[in-house]
A and B are shown apart, each in its own frame.
Chain A
Amino acid sequence: MSQPEQREEAVFAAALQLPAAQRAAYLDQTCASDADLRRRIEALLGALERAGGRLNGPAVSGSEATVLLAITPIEKPGDRIGRYKLLQQIGEGGCGVVYMAEQEEPVRRRVALKVIKLGMDTKQVIARFEAERQALALMDHPNIARVFDAGATDTGRPFFVMELVRGIKITDFCDEQKLATADRLKLFILVCQAIQHAHQKGIIHRDIKPSNILVTVNDGVPVPKVIDFGIAKATQGRLTDQTLFTAFEQFIGTPAYMSPEQAVLTSLDIDTRSDIYSLGVLLYELLTGKTPFDQKELLAAGFDGMRRTIREQEPPRPSTRLSSLAAEDLTTTAARRHTDAPKLLHGVRGDLDWVVMKTLEKDRGRRYETANGLARDIERHLANEPVVARPPSRLYRFQKSVRRNKTVYAAVTAVTLALLMGVIVSTSQAVRANREKKKSEQVSQFLKDMLKGVKPSVAKGQDITMLREILDTTAMRVGKDLNDLPEVEAELRSTIGEVYHYLGRWEEAEAMYSRALELSRKLHGPVHPEVAQLLNNLGVTFMNRDKLVEAETLYQEALAMRRKLLGENHLAVAETLGSLSFLLRRQGRLEEAEAAIREALAIQKERLGNENPEVAESIRGLGTVLWRQQKLPEAESKIREALTMQTKLLGADDPIVADMTEDLGLVLIDQGRLADAERALTDALAARRRLQGDTHRDTLSCMVSLLNTLLAEAKYDVAEPLALECWTTRKKIMPGEPKTFNVESIFGGCLLGLKRYADAEPRLLSGYEGLTRPGTYIPPEGRYVVKNALLRLVQLYEATNRPDQAAEWKQKLAAAEKAP
């Protein structure tokens, strides 16, 4: 250190010792003859002040240092791992570092050596690799990089030794070479053939992605090489829930390439078709430059969101994806394919769209069965022959539009069967009566089985236009074509009646059941289980058409018949008791309703055990009766019990669960437990939005319940946007209905709470007027809605100092409260 530096340090140290106020005087004196020194000292003092607390502690925390030290590669060129000498690092990925290495014995050759990052059980990884080593050794294909060896480094991390491939990843290669779509496809076909070879040897790759497919150029010909065979299986192995999250970050690395069945992550059920899916993603990326799902968006969605997207969301077709790119991106993408945007789009649209979408099917049974099948279809496309993955039929398209959930899928199957039945019915002749009868019975049974699937799809408000069309046609034909087969006719009418029943088309259901009942009585006599069932079902349609007295008569008849024929403790007895309880509840005969449902529940518990969907439904029914009787805590506990059971049985994503969550919210409101109610209703609303969509009637009415809660809690700022959404939607889909005006008044209430009086007034007035328009019927239990609307108006005029108007509305409110 030089003399001036030493002096600078000494003066700085002395100045620092002094209180800040005395420093200037000290520097005046000390640096009188050295302006430079003074400037330096002041700069240093200033810097120290500005630094504050920075640079005081260590650069990393203890745990982070441990991690860093542990994961930073310990190997370096020149080191030896087993019989391999590391030459240079050639790559680094999510799960390891790749070196070029030299093997000296038994043969002298250059290899690629991949050291897996820390975080795995080395013994298991190696054991899994050993288990597959023989199969791996059987692979011999020019487009597959061979895997030679695996082992553990001195530091205990697993490593793999592979054929050294000096290439770049396939997507980069194609872009750099500006390969046209056709050339990309030819390269891709080679990849498919390599994968096919591996599949034939029983090896699934499990991690097909661009960085695992390297392209080298031999004599001017590009040769793709698939690397890392056997490694994904050895390193992924079994993922438990606990390791899931780290697993997600550490090993999976590329969710964009993960098949829906891999996203489930049980990993037990992976087969060659998962590779087909990943090949599809690769093809998608080669064609469009994008993956079907954006990697960043997948990661941003969080772990569960990512899995849901991969499992449920239909990706856009490649051509759709291309045309949705910004003009500039599209031009670049086209340029990388040595073409212009219109030609690129034209080339991808059609065949290639279908080929790609077939590989990306969520249901692997619909994908190409083999990698060769996929390759051959692409060859057909290149040869201008029709592809196997041709544009789907109308029915198929219909299926696609609803297949996002399983239950609807079941409904679609019902449609298919109904179609089939149509064919059978129309060809049925007296001569072949017997055979046809059998067939019809089978179809009928099948159709019945499918009803379970129809119900939730109806609840979810899915599009069932086509189902209805087919149903109506079939219903018409039943009468015409089956006159000579009363047994089949009765059976089919009963089944069709049930479908109408679930669709809520009570009039048609009633007609079907009535005719079936007539036929059944003729066939079986007045007392028969079939007759009892029809009596019960007909009772349900009556009840839903508000013919309560007739319904009760039918229920009682069915109940007596069932008890007599089947015994007191039969599930059919419980069914009728449940229906009867519902009816009694509607009539306000609550004690009788409670007794009926308790009896039904006892039978069901005895027969079905304590945990069963029907038991849960009855517990819920009991909860509802108790709720109507204002036995609130007891009602709450029953509803909770049913909710817990159904959540366990059906999963959280089910309309029934959403229904019950909403019920729970409502019963909590009645108990004045607003914070709890808000929580339940918020959950219920989220579930409804997810399952039924933002504009479904149930979603909207759930919004209203939540809005009432939020207003009661004076959370106007939270309520206001929701109220606006609800009102806007209702105005669109149910204009002029009392419910719409109620929401308008609620929206006004939010504005009132936010002190936006001028905005609130027109909403409150219009909402109230709508609710009280002549001809509007509001049932007694809904009258509070009108009172609330009035109360808000009173509050508005009081808040804005308009006593005359306030008094006027107070009078109306008093009148409304007196009304019966």
Chain B
Amino acid sequence: MSDVTRILDAARAGDPTAAEQLLPLVYEELRRLAASKMANEAAGHTLQPTALVHEAWLRLVGNENQQWNGRAHFFGAAAEAMRRILVERGRRKRAVRHGGGQAKLDIEEIEIAAPAEDDELLAVNEALEKLAARDHKKAELVKLRYFVGLTTEEAAGILGISVPTADRWWSYSRAWLFEEMERQQKS
């Protein structure tokens, strides 16, 4: 707990490595939470990813720390964690589906065929990296919405922008990402 507060403080103070340090903590907390949900809750119970992340946030930093800067870093790290997990899984499944991949991954030992959405997810991710290079903040917004599942309002609060701005960014980012994805597909 004190670690987290210290890292968040450092992040607020402008330490560029703070976010990197935060990520493993978020990673671990999210997983522990998910595992306990899996173990304790009845099958079929749906838990929104946002709720998971919120809970992780509360557990890590407690209620008292409500300054947006800390939250933004935390949620950014959470979004990054979710993104990495999804992209990693998508890549692995695609590798298996295409008959490539590591030799140690037997077809018999992996989940049954990857759904097509994995392709889309990987395409979005690729386009998102380009968008991030051009406009970091909009990419953050996409990550929060797409990978964490926040609403525009929630994401706006975390990024410290107004809701109409967030809406405008969102429309523009979607259009931009799709155009980029279409271009990738053609080439």
Name the contact of B145 in the complex, choosing from A1, A58, A155 (C-beta under 8 A): A58
Q: Complex: how many Å from CA A211 to CA B106? A: 9
Q: Which residues in A have their C-beta under 8 angstroms from that of B121? A: 59
Knowing A50-B182, A51-B174 touch, does A70 contact B109 (C-beta < 8 A)?
no
On whether the beta carbons of A211 and B109 are closer than 8 Å, the reply is: yes
Contacts of B134 in A (CB 8 A): 1, 5
Q: Interface 1/0s, chain A 13-52, versus B by CB < 8 A?
A: 1001000000000000000000000000001111110110
How many A-B pairs have beta carbons closer than 8 Å: the answer is 140
User: In the complex, what's the smallest C-beta–C-beta distance from A567 to chain B, in angstroms?
Assistant: 59
Tell whether, in the assembled complex, residue A60 and residue B86 are in contact, meaning their CB atoms are under 8 Å apart: yes
Do A118 and B35 touch across chains, with their CB atoms under 8 A apart?
A: yes
| Contact A50–B178 (Cβ < 8 Å) | yes
State A693–B102 Cα separation when bound (angstroms). Answer: 45
Roughly how many angstroms separate A66 CA and B49 CA in the complex, as a whole number? Answer: 7
User: Considering the chains assembled together, what is the distance between the CA atoms of A253 and B37 in angstroms?
Assistant: 25
- If A44-B175, A70-B31, A172-B103 touch, whether A62 touches B89 (CB-CB below 8 Å) is no
Task: Write out the residue numbers on chain B whose beta carbons fall within 8 Å of the beta carbon of A305.
Answer: none
The count of chain A contact residues (Cβ–Cβ below 8 Å) is 48
Contact between A58 and B148, CB atoms less than 8 A apart: yes
Q: Are B34 and A47 in contact (CB under 8 A)?
A: no
Would you call B45 and A63 a contact (CB within 8 A)?
Answer: yes
What CA separation (Å) do A591 and B61 show in the bound complex? 86
A45 to B82, CA, bound (A): 29
Query: Does A67 belong to the interface (CB within 8 Å)?
Result: yes
Contact at A12–B172, with CB atoms within 8 Å?
yes
Which listed residue, A16, A54, A65, touches B34 by the CB 8 Å rule?
Answer: A65
Interface flag for A61 (CB, 8 Å): yes
* Chain B contact residues: helix, strand, loop or mixed: helix
Interface presence of A405 (CB below 8 A): no
Q: Which residues of A contact B89 (CB under 8 A)?
A: 68, 72
A47 with B179, Cβ < 8 A, contacts A60-B86, A72-B85, A155-B35 known: yes
The CA of A168 and the CA of B145, in the complex, are separated in Å by: 43
The contact string, 1 if C-beta is below 8 Å from chain B, for chain A 477-499, is 00000000000000000000000
Are A47 and B28 neighbours in the complex by a CB distance under 8 Å?
Answer: no
A65–B175 touching, CB < 8 Å: no
Q: Does A550 contact B (CB under 8 A)?
A: no
Residue pair A13, B38 in contact (C-beta under 8 Å):
no
Q: Which parts of B91-112 form the interface with A (CB within 8 Å)?
A: 103-106, 108-110, 112
Least Cβ distance of B38 to chain A in Å?
5
Q: B105 and A92: CB pair below 8 A?
A: yes
Q: Which of B139-182 contact A (CB under 8 A)?
A: 145-149, 168, 171-172, 174-179, 182
Q: Is the CB of A68 within 8 A of B47?
A: no
A-chain residues with CB within 8 Å of residue B177 when the two chains form the complex: 55
The answer to whether B104 and A91 have CB atoms under 8 Å apart is: yes
Q: A68 to B149, Cβ gap below 8 A? A: no
- Give Cα A791–Cα B122 distance, bound, in whole angstroms: 65
> What are the residues of chain B within 8 A of A66 when measuring CB–CB?
34, 37-38, 47, 49, 52
A9: interface (CB < 8 Å):
yes
* Chain B residue contacts of A12, Cβ below 8 A: 171-172, 175
Q: Are A48 and B34 in contact (CB under 8 A)?
A: no
Per DSSP, are chain A's interface residues mostly helix, strand or loop, or mixed?
helix
B34 A70 Cβ-Cβ under 8 A: yes
- Is B120 positioned at the interface, with any CB of A under 8 Å from its CB? yes
Q: What A residues does B32 contact at CB under 8 A?
A: 74, 155
Chain A CB within 8 A of B187 CB: no
Residues of B within 8 A of A118 (CB): 35, 38-39
Given A50-B178, A55-B146, A55-B174, A63-B47 contact (CB < 8 Å): yes
Return the chain B residue nearest A2 by Cβ.
Answer: B134
Chain A minimum-CB-distance residue to B180 = A47
Taking the nearest CB of chain B, how far is it from the CB of A54, in angstroms?
A: 7
Give min CB distance, A600 to chain B, whole Å.
Answer: 51
What residues on B are CB-neighbors of A62 within 8 Å? Answer: 46-49, 51-52, 149
Q: Beta-carbon contacts of A249-271 to B below 8 Å, as 1s and 0s?
A: 00001101000000000000000
Which residues of chain B (114-135) have a CB below 8 Å from chain A?
A: 117, 120-121, 124, 134-135
Chain A, 67-81, CB within 8 A of any chain B CB: 67-70, 72, 74
Q: Are A72 and B31 in contact (CB under 8 A)?
A: yes
- The answer to whether B46 and A63 touch across the interface, beta carbons within 8 angstroms, is yes
> What residue in chain B is nearest A211 (Cβ atoms)?
B106
List of B residues within 8 angstroms of A50 by Cβ? 178, 182
Q: How far is the CA of A156 from the CA of B135 in the complex (A)?
A: 41
Chain A residue at minimum C-beta to C-beta distance from B112: A299
A67: nearest residue on chain B (CB-CB)?
B38
Flag whether A295 is at the interface (Cβ < 8 A).
yes
Looking across the interface, which residue of chain B has its beta carbon closest to that of A298?
Answer: B108
Contact digits for B6-48, partner A, Cβ 8 Å, 1 yes 0 no: 0000000000000000000001101111110111000011111
* Chain B contacts for A211, CB-based, 8 A: 106, 109
A779 within 8 Å of B (CB atoms): no
A94 interfacial contact with B, CB 8 Å: yes
Which residue of chain A is the closest to B137 with respect to CB atoms?
A: A1
Q: Looking at the complex, which one of B35, B109, B124 makes contact with A253 (CB distance below 8 Å)? A: B109
Find the residue from A12, A44, A70, A254 having the highest chain B CB count within 10 A.
Answer: A70
CA distance A58 to B178 in the complex (A): 16
Say yes or no: is A82 at the interface (Cβ < 8 Å to chain B). Answer: no
Q: Are B38 and A51 in contact (CB under 8 A)?
A: no
Query: Which residue of the partner chain B has the closest CB to A63?
Result: B46
Rounded to whole Å, the gap between the CB of B17 and the closest CB of chain A is 17
Task: Looking at the assembled complex, report how far the CB atom of B10 sits from the nearest CB atom of chain A, in whole angstroms.
Answer: 22
Given A59-B146, A59-B147: A45 in contact with B31 (beta carbons within 8 A): no
Bound together, the chains give a CA A786 to CA B109 distance in angstroms of: 60
Chain B residues within an 8 Å CB radius of A57: 149
CA distance A168 to B89 in the complex (A): 24
Check if B35 sits within 8 Å of A43, measured CB to CB.
Answer: no
Verify if A93 is at the interface (C-beta below 8 Å from B): yes
Give chain A residues whose Cβ lies under 8 Å from the Cβ of B30. Answer: 69
Chain A hits for B148, CB < 8 A: 58
CA distance A649 to B34 in the complex (A): 46
Taking CB atoms and an 8 Å cut-off, the chain B residues in 40-99 that contact chain A are 44-49, 51-52, 82, 85-86, 88-89
How far does the Cβ of A724 sit from chain B's closest Cβ, in whole Å?
A: 36
Query: Which of B28, B33, B124, B168 has the most C-beta atoms of chain A within 10 angstroms of its own C-beta?
Result: B168
Min CB gap B140→A, angstroms:
13
Known: A50-B182, A72-B89, A74-B27. A253 touches B34 (CB 8 A): no
- Closest residue to A14 on the B side, CB-wise? B168
> A54 touching B108 by the CB < 8 A rule?
no
Determine the chain B residues whose CB is within 8 A of the CB of A43 once the complex forms. 179
* Cα–Cα distance between A90 and B104 once the two chains are bound (Å): 9
**B residues less than 8 Å from A70 (CB atoms):** 31, 34-35, 37-38
Docked pose: A46 CA to B183 CA in angstroms: 13
| Complex alpha-carbon distance, A256 and B38, angstroms | 30
Partner of B108 from the list A1, A65, A172, A295 (CB cut-off 8 Å) is: A295
> CB within 8 A of B168: which of A13, A156, A172?
A13
B49 touches A93 (CB 8 A): no
Q: A168 CA to B102 CA in the complex, in Å?
A: 13
Mark A282-309 against chain B: 1 for CB-CB distance below 8 A, else 0: 0000000000000100010000000000
Taking a contact as CB atoms under 8 Å apart, the answer to whether A48 and B178 are in contact is yes
CB <8 Å contact, A9 and B172: yes
- Residues of the B chain whose Cβ atoms lie less than 8 Å from the Cβ of A1: 134-135
CA distance A41 to B76 in the complex (A): 30
Residue of A nearest to B24 (CB): A76
Nearest chain A CB to B2's CB is how many angstroms away? 19
| Chain B residues engaging chain A, CB cutoff 8 angstroms | 27-28, 30-35, 37-39, 44-49, 51-52, 82, 85-86, 88-89, 103-106, 108-110, 112, 117, 120-121, 124, 134-135, 145-149, 168, 171-172, 174-179, 182
Pairs A–B under 8 Å by Cβ, sample size 6? A59-B147, A62-B46, A63-B45, A69-B34, A69-B52, A156-B35
Beyond the given A48-B178, A168-B103, please list 9 additional residue pairs across the A-B interface where CB-CB is below 8 A: A59-B124, A63-B44, A65-B82, A66-B49, A67-B34, A68-B85, A69-B34, A70-B38, A93-B106
6 shortest interchain CB distances as A-B pairs: A58-B149, A69-B34, A47-B179, A48-B175, A70-B34, A47-B178
